[in-house]
Copies of this chain bind each other. A is one copy, B any other.
Amino acid sequence: MEIIASAPGKVTLYGEHAVVYGEPAIVSSINKRIYVKCRPRRDNTITISALNLSVPGIILTIDKDGEIKIETDYGRVLSAVSYIKEAIRLTQNYLDIKGGADITVSSEMPVGAGLGTSAAVAVSTIAAYSYSHGYRIPAKEIARLSWETEKTIQGLASPMDSTIATYGGFIYLKYDGKDFDFEPIEDVNELPLVIGYTKRLYKTADMVSKVKNLIDKYPLLGKNVINLIGKIVEMAREALKRNDLTMIGELMNINHGLLETLGVSTKELNHIVYIMRSLGAYGSKLSGAGGGGVAIGVVPRERINEVITALKLIDATPIETSIGGSGLIIEERDG
């Protein structure tokens, strides 16, 4: 049967970078999703059509025989396709099957922007492929296979993207590079969020390494700033449970300052952060690794259009979304 599986992108609300040092973090799903449609084939061939991966300036064509032809060498789309191939390979191994499939992937968000698209691609692919072949893999296994996919392709990967893509909502987690624990934060209202995206100038690994160098030189930052971010995360968890928008925002502002202290912000990210605040955001911060990429703000609904206009004016790509929505959704089509 044909299956359409979809999984959400994510943003880190609190705790990025400190999470590497054993502190907790909070991530949430966004209501922008990756869709993977899978129809089983009678042979063992896999075809992948990536028709709508909205990476500006890139055209990806897949010919009718299923051969992937990337018209540029732009790594991010190639990369999205490679996640699909690897996810299928691992799922086939897990299920011990070899069935072919026609896969179509599309995205409601830019790929490679730090919104967790590769995990959402992997989660959707694993679900669509397995369900279309009649196997209902449990969510936990889907998340694990997605993490495996990311690790195989990237070498290193955090499990948080796969976890939030699978379960959605708000997740409180600890991951120190070895051990991983998470629990959902229940009863949180969906929150209106605006994302501003600027070009990423550095890879996540570069930024993690930059922070490590700073902490090696100034161990006080490790002891104090990292630890304080952890405490901010704990407070944010309570603020989210109470749907206390004021405190949710203030803690974002504070967390941003602490990330600034760790040296991972940029002129462009700060620009987004302050535009959001000046237009009435409850709070705003860079989100994720920094060094460019994504900044987020919790914005009152009636001010969202203003914020979006302002972001366009400074050439920051705005994404309006809500956070905390569904994780993996699997729909069956005909037979």
Give residues in A with beta carbon < 8 Å to B.
214, 217-218, 220-221, 224-225, 227-228, 231-232, 235, 250, 253-254, 256-263, 266-267, 270-271, 274-275, 278
Contacts and interface: CB of A to CB of B under 8 A. Distances in A.
Contacts of A278: 267
Nearest to A262: B257
Given A257-B261, A260-B257, A267-B278, A220 B231 contact: yes
B221 A224 contact: no
A267 B257 contact: no
B260 A256 contact: yes
A274 B267 contact: yes
A214 B271 CA distance: 23
Q: Decide if the interface of chain A is mainly helix, strand, loop or mixed.
A: helix
A185 B143 CA distance: 58
B270 A274 contact: yes
A258 B256 CA distance: 10
Contact of A267 (B224, B227, B275): B275
Which of A225, A232, A250 lies at the interface centre, i.e. has the most chain B CB atoms within 10 A of its CB?
Answer: A225
A257 B254 contact: no
A225 B228 CA distance: 8
Contact of A217 (B217, B220, B250): B250
A268 to B, nearest CB: 9
Closest 10 CB pairs of A and B: A257-B261, A267-B274, A257-B260, A270-B270, A260-B260, A224-B228, A220-B231, A258-B261, A224-B224, A254-B261
A238 to B, nearest CB: 12
Contact of A271 (B218, B253, B262, B267): B267
A226 to B, nearest CB: 11
A231 B222 CA distance: 13
B267 A267 contact: no
Nearest to A221: B254
29 contacts: A218-B250, A218-B254, A220-B228, A221-B254, A224-B224, A224-B228, A254-B261, A254-B263, A256-B260, A256-B261, A257-B257, A257-B258, A257-B259, A257-B260, A257-B262, A257-B263, A258-B261, A260-B260, A260-B261, A261-B261, A266-B274, A267-B270, A267-B271, A267-B274, A267-B275, A267-B278, A270-B271, A270-B274, A271-B271
